[in-house]
């Protein structure tokens, strides 16, 4: 798993409600977070009454605390053990100005404890804090149930959902993405707007294939970076009958891409994978890209930069590798099943078993010997989330869709990396994709994180998202 998450906690309290509930509520939330392996940043009872935020003075103290930990705080949690003072909570978030996701939790009343000494009214107070945050222009997320105790199974599940949202939002903040080569000229479909990405804080750095090939030219077979990469490739996948000369080319390609991304401080990438690479260099980059995706740094083929972002959102949410696939074929006459395929640079994580081979599609035009490096195998069965982002220049916004289904065990005798997916109401999804002009590429992941990706993109990045139900 990734690094430990850190959440700022704001404890609500309103003086004429039972204040002992703020004391116990603070401890309950701290215990719930620490139990989930999350570090809480929260005021102490020495700093404010009950360690809660009630007055404007409390709000300033809370904001100062959060600012001291600004670099590490991934999200904020408002916990309402009683009604809570909505203005103080909203002021604290505004003054801290962290611009991270906010989750609002309200603790339920016990129907047998409704006297003045124990009544919480957080059911009602939650509406007031939401109203205030809306007035302040601060986006926030809600638990699935209106009230949930910090130690409940419902809150545990919501906490998982929320941590995934926070990882996506933080991962996309000031993200730097490498685009290697021009898009294949036949693929108008992967056009996108760098300007709309820049507006969302995402920078694209480009590198021409000629520069890649030029840097490779300067490398010797015996160079440490080449030999290190060669060893890593051989450990990563069974290379079988692949010629050593092709493996050396892949190693040099990988070493050059790694070096460029490191010096340019880039996190993820998209690559012009055909046909210049095969015609003028003599391998496919699939294995090199697969290894990056396996290491949670997605690399998308056909310079599908928006595909890379779609992969990265799922990877951040789940902390597992993502692949970019084609919505490629119907599967028999089942309207809820389809074949998802690429030729392939899928991460090893996706396969039942896998070997390195030549790329059968491109081999027809450039020759088999120039197409070694593809990963060939059947995608394993399991839960599936899918996501796609796209830039809509006509409306001037970034749009997308997400959903969930599953990879099945259905038989499939084909080449490349392929799996059968089953998605409820799939014909409606396909119609939505076509009606809205989305690309034929989709990012996929073995996890159930569509809800987190949707919330992160729509609520905190301001993108127009569709959730396929």
Q: What is the pLDDT of residue 90?
A: 98
Rounded distance between C-alpha atoms, residue 149 and residue 462, angstroms: 30
pLDDT over 90 percentage in the chain: 93
Neighbours of 169 (CB within 10 A): 23
Rounded distance between C-alpha atoms, residue 268 and residue 270, angstroms: 7
Rounded distance between C-alpha atoms, residue 292 and residue 271, angstroms: 12
Q: What is the pLDDT of residue 83?
A: 87
Q: What is the pLDDT of residues 56-79, one digit of tens each?
A: 999 999 999 999 999 999 999 999
Compute and round to an integer the Cα radius of gyration of the chain: 25
pLDDT beyond 70 at 16: no
Q: Which element (helix H / strand E) includes 79? A: strand 75-80
Confidence of residue 451 (pLDDT cuts 50, 70, 90): very high
Q: Which element (helix H / strand E) includes 179? A: strand 176-180
Q: What is the pLDDT of residue 116?
A: 63
pLDDT beyond 90 at 218: yes
The helix/strand count (H/E) of the chain reads as 15, 18
pLDDT beyond 70 at 1: no
Q: What is the pLDDT of residue 113?
A: 66
Q: Among residues 387, 376, 377, which one has the least CA distance to residue 423? A: 387
Q: Among residues 61, 38, 116, which one has the least CA distance to residue 83? A: 116
Q: What is the pLDDT of residues 259-280, one digit of tens each?
A: 999 999 999 999 999 999 999 9
Q: What is the pLDDT of residue 115?
A: 60
Q: Do residues 463 and 313 touch, judged by C-beta distance below 8 A?
A: no
Q: What is the pLDDT of residues 427-445, one digit of tens each?
A: 999 999 999 999 999 999 9
Query: Which CATH number does the domain 176-467 belong to among 3.40.50.720, 3.30.200.20, 3.40.275.10, 3.40.50.2300?
Result: 3.40.275.10
Q: What is the pLDDT of residues 379-395, one digit of tens each?
A: 999 999 999 999 999 99
Q: What is the pLDDT of residues 314-359, one digit of tens each?
A: 999 999 999 999 999 999 999 999 999 999 999 999 999 999 999 9
Q: What is the pLDDT of residue 374?
A: 97
Q: Are domains 6-172 and 176-467 of this chain identical in fold?
A: no
Q: What is the pLDDT of residue 120?
A: 78
Query: Which CATH number does the domain 6-172 belong to among 3.40.50.2300, 3.40.50.10940, 1.20.1530.20, 3.80.10.10?
Result: 3.40.50.10940
Task: List the beta bridge partners of residue 324.
Answer: 443
Domain ranges of the chain: 6-172, 176-467
pTM: 0.97
Q: Do residues 33 and 66 touch, judged by C-beta distance below 8 A?
A: no
Q: How does DSSP assign 183-220, residue by residue?
A: PPTT-GGG---HHHHHHTT-EEEEE-HHHHHHHHHT--
Between β-strands 464-467 and 268-271, what pairing exists: parallel, antiparallel or unpaired? Answer: unpaired
Confidence of residue 114 (pLDDT cuts 50, 70, 90): low
pLDDT beyond 90 at 243: yes
pLDDT beyond 70 at 240: yes
Burial bucket for residue 333 (CB in 10 Å: 0-12, 13-18, 19+):
exposed
Confidence of residue 20 (pLDDT cuts 50, 70, 90): confident
Rounded distance between C-alpha atoms, residue 322 and residue 294, angstroms: 8
Rounded distance between C-alpha atoms, residue 381 and residue 410, angstroms: 9
Distances (CA, A) of 418 to 127, 225, 313, 357: 48, 32, 22, 14
């Amino acid at each position: 798993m990734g690094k430990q998450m850190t959440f700022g906690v704001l404890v609500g309290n309103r003086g004429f409600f039972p204040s002992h509930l703020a004391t116990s509520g603070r401890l309950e939330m701290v215990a719930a977070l620490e139990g989930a392996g999350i570090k809480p940043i929260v005021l102490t009872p020495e700093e404010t009454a009950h360690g809660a935020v009630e007055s404007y003075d409390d709000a300033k103290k809370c904001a100062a605390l959060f600012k001291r930990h600004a670099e590490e705080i991934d999200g904020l949690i408002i916990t309402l053990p009683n009604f809570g003072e909505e203005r103080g909570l909203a002021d604290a978030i505004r003054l801290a100005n962290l611009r991270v996701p906010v989750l609002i939790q309200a603790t339920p009343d016990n129907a047998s404890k409704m006297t003045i000494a124990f009544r919480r009214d957080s059911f009602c107070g939650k509406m007031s804090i939401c109203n205030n945050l809306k007035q302040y222009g601060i986006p926030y997320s809600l638990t699935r149930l209106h009230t949930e105790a910090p130690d409940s199974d419902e809150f545990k599940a919501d906490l998982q959902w929320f941590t995934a949202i926070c990882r996506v939002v933080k991962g996309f903040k000031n993200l730097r993405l490498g685009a290697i080569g021009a898009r294949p000229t036949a693929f108008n479909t992967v056009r996108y707007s760098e300007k709309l990405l820049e507006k969302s804080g995402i920078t694209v750095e480009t590198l021409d294939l000629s520069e890649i090939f030029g840097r490779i030219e300067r490398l010797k077979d015996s160079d440490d970076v080449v030999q290190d990469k060669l060893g890593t490739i051989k450990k990563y996948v069974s290379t079988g009958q692949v010629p050593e000369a092709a493996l050396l080319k892949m190693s040099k390609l990988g070493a050059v891409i790694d070096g460029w991304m490191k010096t340019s401080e880039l996190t993820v990438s998209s690559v012009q994978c055909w046909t210049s690479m095969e015609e003028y260099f003599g391998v496919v980059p699939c294995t090199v890209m697969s290894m990056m995706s396996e290491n949670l740094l997605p690399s998308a083929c056909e310079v599908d930069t928006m595909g890379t972002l779609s992969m990265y959102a799922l990877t951040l949410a789940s902390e597992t590798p993502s692949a970019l696939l084609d919505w490629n074929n119907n599967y028999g006459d089942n309207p809820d099943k389809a074949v998802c395929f690429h030729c392939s640079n899928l991460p090893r994580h996706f396969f039942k078993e896998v070997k390195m081979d030549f790329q059968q599609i491109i081999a027809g035009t450039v020759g088999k010997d120039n197409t070694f490096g593809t990963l060939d195998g059947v995608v394993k069965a399991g839960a599936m989330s899918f996501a796609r982002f796209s830039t809509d220049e006509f409306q001037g916004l970034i749009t997308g869709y997400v959903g969930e289904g599953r990879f099945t065990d259905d038989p499939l005798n084909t080449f490349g990396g392929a799996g059968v997916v089953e998605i409820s109401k799939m014909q409606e999804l396909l119609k939505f994709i076509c009606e809205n002009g989305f690309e034929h590429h989709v990012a996929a992941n073995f996890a159930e994180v569509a809800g987190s990706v949707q919330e992160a993109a729509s609520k905190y990045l301001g993108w127009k998202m569709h959730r396929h139900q």
